[in-house]
Chain A
Amino acid sequence: MMESQRIAYGEAISELGTDKRIVVLDADLSSSTHTIMFSKKYPERFFNMGIQEQNEVGVAAGLARSGKIVFASSFAVFIVGRAYDVIRQSIAYTGLNVKIVATHAGLTVGEDGATHQMLEDIGIMSGLPNFRVIAPADAPETKRVIKKIAYSDGPFYVRLSREKVPTLLSDYDFEIGKGIVINEGEDVTIISTGITLSISIDAMNQLKEKGIYASVIHMPTLKPIDRDLIIKFARKTKKLITVEEHSIYNGLGSRVAEVLAESEQASLRRVAVMDKFGESGPGWALLEKYGVNSKRIVEISEEMVR
């Protein structure tokens, strides 16, 4: 089943809305981010800021300083890119209770092209003290993430996709800072974050047919990263592959490399977008074209194992 993370987000905040402390902001993209669902139910606590991401984030900080639990949304490229300094000074430095939930992250934005395809946000947001960074894999997990962070004090950045994604985690709990073991295999460990989990599971199945047994880990929390789990599987399989819809720089692959460099010897290969801008096209096809695909994971796994 394919489901939308954006709709799951809209549903989650609408369900949370009975709590009068919840306030939601958007920057003229509420029908795309689906914060519009909240706005219809609680118009008195929804503010469409217009096309003003900087002011949106500043206002979010002021609301949070007044005791509100604030969700501020837009496309990842705009809210992170345009409002970075406001996020840094007024939210990260203050540690105020603002949840930045960005949709349309990565290449799967599709036809809008490179101007709208944010590939740097995990790195940018992870560099900010006090911020926790989360990329859910599917719609049910998105809902759990939103409900969890609403009642975890302090700033969060949540990265969601535009495309509908396969539902994979209906039965898994979400815990901040914990990775999820989807499958245990002895030969290689595939670690994925966000919507590339389905690609990773595809690769795992293809590898199985070739007699290679892969562990698959979903890492929803990029910061703080689950060090213990990475080390455990580095010891177990000695070979790791990271998969992400993000730049090769400063994303999941970099985080895992840092953990390995400081603790456990294991070989690491990274599947990500190679220091390039994207282009217009169908979302999943772009992931194929830019090398974030199951074929690539299988190739690398075979190289590493054989």
Chain B
Amino acid sequence: MTTDEIKELKLKANEIRTLSIKMIYNAQSGHPGGSLSSADILATLYFKIMNVDPKNPEWEKRDRFVLSKGHASAAYYAVLAMKGYFSMDELCTFRKMGSRLQGHPTIHVPGVDMTTGSLGQGFSTAVGMAIASKIDNADYSVYTLIGDGESEEGIVWEAAMSAAHNKLDNLISILDRNSYQLDGSTESIISLGNMEDKFRAFNWDVITIDGHDILQIIYALEKAKKRNGKPKMIIANTVKGKGVSFMENTHEFHGKAPNKEQYEKAIKELEQERERILKEGSL
């Protein structure tokens, strides 16, 4: 891993954030907070880790990805367009009538492996995909990104139990632990407590990382490829709204679009961040 590669991934994450804000502003609806918190993870998955072919989105041997926290659709569509699954121009149709880019992702969008939006279900369907891979003796991994608020759903724990029981070591899950949900902080709404202990008690391999540190994300995802009979959970500690100062660490922008003034400020901050990344040293 070279410094240039890290820098490239940071720029990709910055682009995901910028596109997400533009799409949500353009649609005047969407979920900025959880899109921004997951940008570094999505950039690393799509531009470093996953074995996929945008020219052949249904390629049988591809790695699968399920965005279980489907409300981060803006970030998801952004990374798919950047990867070349469809044109960047289509992003401006996000959440508009007649668009493929529905408020929450559907399998009708090239590159989307599962329709999501009702929380917890994507995680469960990812278990199904991992079982299918085992039945077929296939090599591909199934990646899924779940939210921390999402983990309040009972189906998450049903799926967690069944993934361990079926020894799905090809299931690699990332928890976007941004600590906020629609109504407030997760711990004020309903205490999630120690998620590492919880998943470990369910017999998962668990690692906790800084979800905005590209090197740590890569390290954890590479380590998770090990086939040892256990499903993998990467708890990524993140900042809700990461990258836009007034969206950070608040539930206010969980599901709210910025107004014009806020939009301009957000874009300016993200541009400044881009400049900063570009100035970072390279080899």
Interface residues of A (CB under 8 A from B): 23, 44-45, 47, 49-50, 52, 54-55, 57-68, 85-86, 88-90, 93-94
Contacts and interface: CB of A to CB of B under 8 A. Distances in A.
Interface stretch (B8-16, B24-32, B124-132, B175-183): B124-132
Interface in B152-173: 154-155, 158-159, 161-162, 165-166
Contacts of B106: 93-94
A59 B127 contact: yes
B150 to A, nearest CB: 13
Contacts, number: 106
B115 interface: yes
A265 B66 CA distance: 51
A50 B131 contact: no
12 contacts: A47-B166, A50-B158, A52-B155, A55-B155, A59-B128, A59-B131, A61-B125, A62-B126, A85-B121, A86-B118, A90-B118, A93-B115
Nearest to B144: A62
A60 B118 contact: no
A58 B155 contact: yes
B115 A47 contact: no
Contacts of B201: none
Most buried by B among A23, A45, A66, A88: A66
A66 B121 contact: no
A173 B106 CA distance: 37
A228 to B, nearest CB: 32
Nearest to A52: B158
A235 B273 CA distance: 75
B133 interface: yes
Given A65-B113, A86-B121, A55 B135 contact: no
B255 interface: no
Nearest to A44: B135
Interface of B: 60, 64, 66, 106-107, 113-118, 120-121, 123-133, 135-136, 154-155, 158-159, 161-162, 165-166
A66 B162 contact: no
B39 to A, nearest CB: 25
Interface of A, helix, strand, loop or mixed by DSSP: helix
A65 B107 contact: yes
Contacts of B162: 49-50, 52, 55, 59
Given A52-B158, A63-B131, 13 more contacts: A50-B165, A54-B154, A58-B121, A61-B128, A66-B128, A66-B132, A66-B136, A85-B121, A86-B121, A89-B116, A90-B118, A90-B124, A93-B115
Contacts of B159: 55, 58-59
B131 A55 contact: no
Given A45-B135, A49-B162, A66-B132, A55 B117 contact: no
Contacts of B60: 67
Contacts of A50: 158, 161-162, 165
Contacts of A44: 135
Contacts of B126: 62
A66 B133 contact: yes
A158 to B, nearest CB: 20
Nearest to B126: A62
Given A52-B161, A55-B162, A60 B115 contact: no
A99 B135 CA distance: 19
Contacts of B117: 89
